[in-house]
């Protein structure tokens, strides 16, 4: 009897594992189909220009206050924390160059992406999730409207376009915060500060930040749209869609940050 019970338990576990594995592959297949559909429909007419501009406004302009505050404080704090280490070697004159490289290469794109993942990703997931729950997406399909093109394509394109713009805006605001800190403590003029900082920035740094921002924007928009568009029924599904959009979006942003840093380091 004991051997039979053990065999039954082993068989039950063997059944569960293939089911979990199959569900995982099915989920990856659904994600792949969802992403490929964007490349299939995103660049074919008809184009939703008005909706695209509206989404760019929602993602970009409404995030300016939060990004401005965060970027300015980050520039000030990073400069203040870096000064003691450079002072030990008598290299405080390198502070503008250090801050410029750190902000443009890493802090600006990563900071902007994390803020967008929390604010924009959750908003997209909750909005599309509520539309799925209230059957508005189903109604669009019945009325011969392509809900994917109108809802998903415009939001993903808007995030892909807007996040790079916000990244360079964050870099500028962060440099202003660093300038304030350096001016107060070292008495450096703004002309000398920007001259020193811009000399250390290369074309590769600008290219790497732009590519990273584009990838981050596409990922945040796609994750938010996928979670909301495929959310489960009920109000609980809306909350799960918004939460999953933030968590998965941030996780993928960190993975992409590691990958892009390793890739561009090959060219330095």
Q: What is the mean pLDDT of residues 122-131?
A: 90
pLDDT tens string 208-218: 999 999 999 99
Residue range 147-175: mean pLDDT, rounded: 93
Give the confidence band of 137 by pLDDT, cuts at 50, 70, 90: confident
Checking if the pLDDT of 86 tops 90, the result is no
Query: pLDDT at residue 65 above 70?
Result: yes
How far apart CA 194 and CA 29 sit, in angstroms, is: 49
Lowest mean pLDDT among 145-149, 152-156, 162-166: 145-149
Q: 4-18, pLDDT tens digit by residue?
A: 444 544 454 454 545
| Phi (first) and psi of residue 81, to 5 degrees | -75, -25
Integer Cα distance of 209 and 63 in angstroms = 19
Residue 89 reports pLDDT greater than 70: yes
H helices within the chain, ranges in order? Answer: 2-41, 49-60, 64-87, 95-102, 108-116, 122-133, 136-142, 147, 154-186, 190-199, 203-229, 235-264
pLDDT of 18 reads: 59
Q: So where are the chain's domains?
A: 51-267
First-last CA distance in the chain: 67
Give the separation between CA 162 and CA 170, rounded to whole angstroms: 12
From the CB of residue 226, how many other CB atoms can be counted at a distance below 10 Å?
A: 24
Work out the number of other CB atoms within 10 angstroms of the CB of residue 130: 17
Kindly state the average pLDDT of the residues 238-244. Answer: 87
């Amino acid at each position: 009897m004991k051997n039979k019970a053990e065999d039954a338990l082993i068989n039950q576990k063997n059944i569960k594992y293939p089911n979990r594995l199959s569900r995982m592959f099915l989920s990856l297949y659904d994600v792949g189909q969802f992403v490929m559909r964007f490349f299939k429909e995103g660049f074919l007419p008809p184009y939703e220009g008005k909706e695209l501009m509206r989404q760019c406004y929602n993602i970009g302009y409404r995030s300016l206050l939060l990004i401005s505050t965060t970027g300015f404080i980050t520039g000030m704090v990073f400069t203040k924390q870096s000064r003691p280490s450079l002072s030990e070697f008598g290299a405080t004159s390198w502070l503008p160059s250090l801050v410029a490289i750190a902000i443009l290469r890493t802090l600006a794109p990563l900071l902007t992406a994390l803020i967008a993942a929390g604010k924009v990703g959750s908003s997209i997931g909750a909005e599309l999730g509520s539309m799925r729950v209230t059957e508005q997406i189903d109604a669009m399909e019945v009325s011969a409207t392509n809900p994917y093109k109108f809802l998903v394509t415009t939001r993903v394109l808007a995030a892909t376009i807007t996040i790079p713009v916000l990244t360079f805006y964050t870099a500028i605001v962060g440099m202003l915060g660093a300038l304030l800190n350096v001016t107060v403590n070292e008495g450096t003029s703004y002309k000398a500060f920007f001259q020193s900082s811009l000399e250390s920035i290369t074309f590769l740094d600008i290219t790497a930040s732009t590519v990273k921002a584009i990838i981050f924007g596409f990922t945040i928009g796609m994750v938010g749209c996928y979670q909301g568009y495929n959310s489960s029924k009920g109000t609980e599904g809306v909350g799960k869609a918004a939460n999953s959009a933030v968590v998965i979006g941030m996780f993928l942003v960190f993975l992409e940050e590691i990958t892009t840093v390793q890739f561009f380091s090959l060219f330095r």
